[in-house]
A and B are shown apart, each in its own frame.
Chain A
């Protein structure tokens, strides 16, 4: 096993909802290793999104620490977090979040304008098998194609960490599998540390490690001795 790149200790997140305090994360300890493929599984409200948000630099913990290599994310200010997301993290969202006014190529190129060492946008799109549709606008693409554009957009900056939030949540089975193949390829061939959130337990078979979250804690950890290929998955 490689070196731990993401280290969380006693990671706690409380939300104050009116007069009630909701413990979204309760003292989570977690190490994620370089090039590892981790799947976070759990029901709604289990804390998996909160964990992903903190690891992605979108939110800060109430207590405890979360570090990306030597960056302490729990103490970072707004602009340091922006810097972290920009330099190290690629995001893939459930609803793709493409910019409707930009073409496929431009959506990907947009990120290269602020990245330090991006690959050519065309190359990222080739990776996800979309070289033929560079000049289309998002409204002209299917859901699966849009999600693959989103993956290309996430990997074009050669991120060290790829965070995917329900990447197949809005897709049918067939298209979902194509998207998962793209993610698996990125992880395997680019060595990008990958964390995927899902409701779908089957996807866990693709991972090195599956973390089951429940009530803001890591309830169970499973290691797969062999990782399944997306084509082998069915749900």
Chain B
């Protein structure tokens, strides 16, 4: 081994504190980058593979009742590659020992072979067969939430009749990745998908030789709007509710939304991290090497060429980066597997193939190495351009001047220590600034990572406390007369009941078309309120249409404009209706009307499709038992449960993700503060030791150095608080999806977490540096020149 290499390893060892903290910054950034992007890629691939291999359709239509014979006509529509019809129904589900009503989505499939489109992946057990016992496959989410498995029995109400189902397997379907009722939060505890014999299902719902659900695979280049129109024209006479593409398919919409969230969190955040780490590496390594000026000069004096010296320091950087990246790969592998594990539970893909992607490792290592080399080369260049004799001398004594605040006049009251600190900061504004920027970046990253939690809480608060104040929603199989609503209101435990009418509609204004639901609310609706941006309740106009703000934006309409409504139910009326106002909606894009106006528009007397209720918890079980016995009731969804499930899954994923990133950001803070302090200490050890000799105590001397650090950290925190808000806004904007808007709400708690984490990192670094100050060589200083 050459002597220079020996020196290299000893230098690495003697600078282990700095090497370790810099290495950890690289490791965190690399780990976050490859783990997170790897997770996102794995999810993308998993979804693509699932959709592809299991032939997920791209067009869907629900109809009231269409004869099987219609399928041949449908298949002849140009652009249709394949299609399959079946029967789908919702029903109440009864599980022993579960008082609350559960909802089953019953999907008819051919026994023995299963569906041809939207094929099933059987995780456990086997495909259903026909026989005396009605067999079923159940979706994985519901099965694991309710601890069901092959051999267990469940009871469903088939059009009002109790029917026992025997579970023979656990299935996954691309059509129900995230089973959810009408696009609300997925609630795997309260909502399950059951695949059963299609003939038995059709018989029960009086759909023999008919279907009510059609899935179509379109040719890749076929025009979707045209296909939708032709399918609509074909199915309209049979109660077609409007064909729609994947974009409007409930499961795909939720999956896309979650993946979009993961895309922003999982790609933008870690990429920012790598850049921040690279920036720090550049600054910190440059400064560390600058402190070795005399050694570099001595090597040159001994006859080593610039090339050898440059090689030496580049090797130094390369080793630090390689160690960091090595640890980063391990962190990334763990992080990625952990996150994919969480998402596998959430998404129910057959497989999520996480792997360490060499390209990602290459990018992270390349950026870090480049930044490190850049910093090192710049520092070395400044030394080697001097003659060895000149370089071996210490740099010229630093020139100081009075700090800005002192130049305003004689300011006797500023303590000497503070003057020293201020002048030191001012003499090297760039350096102090860079340290502050590093700290600020850490603060900002913590805020941007943590604020999701605040945003989610805010959304939940607005949606579930201010707008939707019901405890449960009871929906009917078919629209019912208003009197049924009154009957529900008289059930035990119902404190308040408000019936509403929901109709599937197409809204159109000029070329803008949107498929959604139109909700008819009572004039005195209290359980479902429309809010303005200030969360003030809006009155329902007697006539006209209220639109979700983003829907109005999407349709390009303002209050006073008119919108064409096409009802996708009943007589499929077309009407132009005036927009009366806009509603501030965080989660949905819907239309609202007075229920009587809507009934008039539909040409109905006074029909309702669901009832919002407020519950008295003490009579809850009694109510549930009564509801289960009402045949007209299709589903009961309990808000609290879907909320809880949302918090357990989606929100938990965000929380885990952001916690890990907070930890990574803390390592950045440590890396900046510790290295900044070590370099300052190296430069000023002589001065500080002199002060110790003069009789200043360890604590007093520490103040001189750590005070400077404290100011840098404080400036960084202030900048970071501002920057964090900007970054959060930027991320929220990127995550903005059609159905979902992330409000930029940052709770004081988030700022506190960011500040405390950074302060703790700073304090930890300060403590380590403080120990070094305690060990300053007082004797040596008398003999040495600076």
B411 within 8 A of A: no
Spot the interface stretch: A61-69, A93-101, A172-180.
A93-101
Please tell me which stretch of A84-92, A123-131, A198-206, A218-226 contacts chain B, meaning at least 4 of its Cβ atoms lie within 8 angstroms of it: A84-92
Taking the complex as formed, is B424 at the interface, i.e. its CB lies under 8 A from any CB of chain A?
yes
Contact B697 A59 (CB under 8 A): no
Which residues of the other chain, B, contact A114 by a CB distance below 8 angstroms? 695-696, 700
A122 to chain B, nearest CB (A): 13
For residue A46, give the distance in angstroms from its CB to the closest CB of chain B: 14
Q: Is B419's beta carbon under 8 Å from chain A?
A: yes
Q: Does A148 contact B (CB under 8 A)?
A: no
B782 touches A99 (CB 8 A): no
Interface contact A153-B694, CB-CB below 8 Å: yes
Asked if B778 is an interface residue, CB under 8 A from chain A, the answer is yes
The interface centre, meaning the residue of A85, A86, A95, A100 with most chain B CB atoms within 10 A of its CB, is: A100
Chain B nearest CB from A77 CB (Å) reads 12
Contact B782 A102 (CB under 8 A): no
B778 CB contacts on chain A under 8 angstroms: 53, 58-59
Closest to B781 in A: A97
Which of B399, B420, B694, B783 counts the most chain A CB atoms within 10 A?
Answer: B694
Contact of B416 among A56, A86, A110 (CB under 8 A): A110
Given A99-B687, A101-B419: A93 and B397 interface contact (C-beta under 8 Å): no
A137 to B423, CA, bound (A): 12
What separation, in Å, do the CA atoms of A78 and B700 have in the docked complex?
14
| In contact, A53 and B692 (Cβ under 8 angstroms) | no
Q: Is the CB of B416 within 8 A of A94?
A: no
Residues of A within 8 A of B783 (CB): 49, 94, 165
Chain B residues 543 to 581 lying within 8 A of chain A, measured CB to CB, are: none
**A109: contacting residue among B416, B695, B698, B785, CB under 8 A:** B416
What's the Cα separation between A82 and B424 when bound, in Å?
26
The yes or no answer to B398 lying at the interface (CB within 8 A) is yes
Whether A113 lies near B697 (C-beta < 8 A) is no
Question: Looking across the interface, which residue of chain B has its beta carbon closest to that of A87?
Answer: B695
CB distance from A102 to the nearest CB of B (A): 6
B782 / chain A contacts, CB cutoff of 8 Å: 49, 53, 58, 91, 93-94, 97, 165
> Hey, which chain A residues are within 8 Å of B694, CB to CB?
85-86, 91, 110-111, 153
Contact of B690 with A93 in the complex, beta carbons under 8 Å: yes
A215 to chain B, nearest CB (A): 19
B400 x A106 contact (CB < 8 A): no
From known contacts A99-B420, A100-B397, infer whether A53 and B779 are also in contact, taking CB-CB under 8 Å. yes
Q: Is A138 interfacial (CB-CB < 8 Å)? A: yes
Q: Count of chain B residues with Cβ under 8 Å from any Cβ of A?
A: 34
How many angstroms from the CA of A82 to the CA of B699 in the assembled complex? 11
By a CB distance below 8 angstroms, the chain A residues around B401 are 137
Q: Contacts of A76 on B, CB cut-off 8 Å?
A: none
Assess whether B695 is in contact with A101, with CB atoms less than 8 Å apart. Answer: no
**How many angstroms between the C-alpha atoms of A79 and B699 in the bound complex?**
10
Is the C-beta of A139 less than 8 angstroms from some C-beta in chain B? yes
- Is B597 part of the binding interface, using a Cβ–Cβ cutoff of 8 Å? no
Kindly list chain B residues whose C-beta atoms are within 8 Å of the C-beta of A153: 694
| B415 beta carbon closer than 8 Å to chain A | yes
What is the bound-complex CA distance between A93 and B696, given in angstroms? 16
Which B-chain residue is minimally distant from A111 (CB atoms)? Answer: B694
Contact yes or no, A102 B420, CB < 8 A: yes
Residues 387-425 of B contacting A (Cβ, < 8 Å):
396-402, 415-416, 419-420, 423-424
Q: Does B604 contact A (CB under 8 A)?
A: no
Q: Do A85 and B693 touch across chains, with their CB atoms under 8 A apart?
A: yes
State whether B397 touches A139 (Cβ < 8 A). yes
Residues of B within 8 A of A53 (CB): 778-779, 782
Tell me, in angstroms, the Cα distance from A129 to B595 when the chains sit together: 98
A113 touches B416 (CB 8 A): yes
Within 8 A of B (CB), among A16-58: 49, 53, 56, 58
- Give the residue name and chain of the B residue nearest to A141 (CB): B397
Q: Specify which of A83, A95, A106, A139 is in contact with B399 (CB 8 Å cutoff).
A: A139
Chain A min CB distance to B620 (Å): 69
Could you say which residues of chain A place their CB within 8 Å of the CB of B400?
100-102, 137, 139
Q: Does B786 make an interface contact (CB < 8 A)? A: yes
CA distance A100 to B420 in the complex (A): 9
Q: How far is the CA of A83 from the CA of B694 in the complex (A)?
A: 10
Q: Judge whether B784 is part of the interface by a CB distance below 8 angstroms.
A: yes
Question: Of residues A106, A110, A138, A157, which shows the largest number of chain B Cβ atoms within 10 Å of its Cβ?
Answer: A110
Chain A min CB distance to B408 (Å): 16
**Nearest CB to that of B415 among chain A residues?**
A113
A residues 137-185 with Cβ under 8 Å of B?
137-139, 153, 157, 165, 170
Does B506 sit within 8 A of A, measured CB to CB?
no
Proximity string of chain B (743-786) to chain A, C-beta cutoff 8 Å, 1 when within and 0 when not:
00000000000000000000000000000000000110111111
CB distance from B655 to the nearest CB of A (A): 47
CA distance A59 to B693 in the complex (A): 11
B695 x A111 contact (CB < 8 A): yes
Q: Does B741 contact A (CB under 8 A)?
A: no
Is A100 in contact with B687, judged by CB distance below 8 angstroms?
A: yes
Q: Are B423 and A58 in contact (CB under 8 A)?
A: no
- Give complex CA distance A170, B785 in Å: 10
CB contact between A89 and one of B423, B687, B695 (< 8 Å): that residue: B695
For A94, the chain B residues whose CB sits under 8 A away are: 782-783
What is the CA–CA distance of A137 and B695 in the complex, to the nearest angstrom?
A: 22
Q: A79: which B residues are within 8 A, CB to CB?
A: 697
Given contacts A58-B779, A94-B782, are A82 and B692 in contact (CB under 8 A)? yes
A147 to chain B, nearest CB (A): 13
In chain A, what residue has the closest Cβ to B420?
A101
Contact check, B397 vs A101: say whether CB atoms are below 8 A apart: no
**A111 vs B690: C-alpha distance when bound (angstroms):** 12
Residue of A nearest to B416 (CB): A110
- Given A49-B782, A165-B782, A97–B695 Cβ distance below 8 Å? no
Q: Residue B343 at the A interface, CB < 8 A?
A: no
B64 part of interface (Cβ distance < 8 Å) = no
Distance in angstroms between the alpha carbons of A99 and B420 in the assembled complex: 9
**In the assembly, what is the distance between CA of A153 and CA of B416, in Å?**
14
In Å, the complex CA distance between A42 and B686 comes to 26
- B775 CB to closest chain A CB (Å) equals 11
* Closest CB in chain A relative to B769 CB, distance in Å: 18
Say yes or no: is B427 at the interface (Cβ < 8 Å to chain A). yes
Q: Within residues 670 to 709 of chain B, which ones have a CB less than 8 A from any CB in chain A?
A: 686-687, 690-698, 700
Supposing A100-B687, A102-B416, A102-B419 touch, asked if A82 and B697 sit within 8 A by C-beta, the answer is: yes
Give A211 to B270 CA distance when docked, in angstroms: 69
Report the minimal beta-carbon distance from A54 to chain B, rounded to whole angstroms. 10
Specify which chain A residues have a CB less than 8 angstroms from the CB of B693 in the assembled complex: 56, 58, 85, 91, 93, 97
Partner of A95, one of B419, B700, B785: B785
In the complex the two chains form, is A99's CB within 8 Å of B695's CB?
no
List residues of B (643-693) whose CB comes within 8 Å of A's CBs: 686-687, 690-693
Most buried by B among A99, A102, A138: A99
Give the residue name and chain of the A residue nearest to B695 (CB): A86
Q: Contacts A59-B779, A99-B687, A165-B782: A82 and B419 contacting too (C-beta < 8 A)?
A: no
Residues of A contacting B691 with CB < 8 Å? 99, 110
In the complex the two chains form, what is the Cα distance from A94 to B396 in whole Å?
A: 18
Give 16 A-B pairs besides A93-B782, A97-B693 with Cβ atoms closer than 8 angstroms. Answer: A53-B778, A53-B782, A58-B693, A86-B695, A86-B697, A91-B693, A93-B690, A95-B786, A97-B686, A101-B424, A103-B402, A106-B416, A110-B694, A111-B695, A114-B700, A139-B396
Closest 8 CB pairs of A and B: A86-B695, A97-B690, A85-B695, A101-B423, A139-B397, A101-B400, A95-B785, A58-B778
CB within 8 Å of A: which residues of B?
A: 396-402, 415-416, 419-420, 423-424, 427, 686-687, 690-698, 700, 778-779, 781-786
28 contacts between A and B (CB under 8 A): A58-B693, A82-B695, A82-B696, A85-B694, A86-B695, A86-B697, A89-B695, A91-B693, A93-B693, A93-B781, A93-B782, A95-B785, A97-B782, A99-B690, A100-B398, A100-B400, A100-B687, A101-B419, A101-B427, A102-B423, A103-B402, A110-B691, A111-B694, A111-B695, A113-B416, A137-B401, A139-B397, A139-B398
